[in-house]
Homo-oligomer: A and B are copies of this chain.
Amino acid sequence: MVALAQEMETGTLHEQIVAKLRGVLLDGELGDGARIPEAQLCLRFGISRTPLREALKVLAAEGFVELRPNRGSIVAPIDPVEVAHVFELKGAIEHTIGRLAAVRATPEDRTRIEQAHAELGAHPDPAAYTALNQEFHRALAAATHNPVLQQTYDNLQKRVLRLRFVVNENPTRVAQSFVEHENIMVAFRAGARLDLAERLEEHNRLTGEAVMRRLKREGA
């Protein structure tokens, strides 16, 4: 089992609860549209309803939870149209990540990115793919040294992570994806800003299209 919600055990208690709860949602422990068992989660986290509900509101604002007045909260149902919109926005941000990271990446950033890329190459299995891929893109985003961008990007990334089949990526797409990553790395190493930007945007578009095809097929 790959932990998708690799949050650190840090920050305020509230932040920790948000992180844990997000973890529950991202790991698909509660399916799409499932009722969120407040009482159960309180027991599990060893807290009362007050802080849990605070976390729920935050996650609702982030788009992971849907609050239905007087009818409790549910895991936000996946809306294919919305997923497409998330990818569209993410594309814009990927482009910017490319332009900025190519120029701003420090030697440490470069090392981390190279490392993430190498790990992806070493583990071509779909099981490991999602987490490593996540790490790779996260490292690139970090190289922009723009925390506002990073956080927005991360949030969007998490939103698509909720789709189970992104996790259980198919082997063909994984292979294709790695080829795209190779090209991304070529542009990155060369410091080719616009080239990197375009490749990242294109990679996002292709991933998005794969996801949308899958969504259509599953008729979710």
A residues engaging B (CB < 8 A)?
A: 12-14, 18, 50, 53-55, 57-58, 61-63, 67, 69, 82, 85-86, 88-89, 91-93, 95-96, 100, 146-149, 152, 156
- How many copies of this chain sit in the oligomeric assembly? 2
Q: Are A96 and B85 in contact (CB under 8 A)?
A: no
Contact residue among B13, B55, B93 (Cβ-Cβ distance under 8 Å from A92): B93
The complex places the Cα of A57 from the Cα of B11 at a distance, in Å, of 14
The complex places the Cα of A22 from the Cα of B146 at a distance, in Å, of 24
In the A-B complex, list the 7 residue pairs whose CB atoms are closest, starting with the nearest: A92-B96, A85-B148, A89-B149, A85-B146, A54-B57, A58-B61, A12-B69
**A/B interface sample: 19 pairs, CB < 8 A:** A13-B69, A14-B57, A14-B67, A18-B61, A53-B54, A57-B57, A57-B58, A58-B61, A82-B147, A82-B148, A85-B146, A85-B147, A85-B149, A88-B148, A88-B149, A89-B93, A89-B146, A89-B148, A92-B93
- List the B side residues contacting A63 at CB < 8 Å: 148
- List the B side residues contacting A55 at CB < 8 Å: 57
The complex places the Cα of A14 from the Cα of B66 at a distance, in Å, of 13
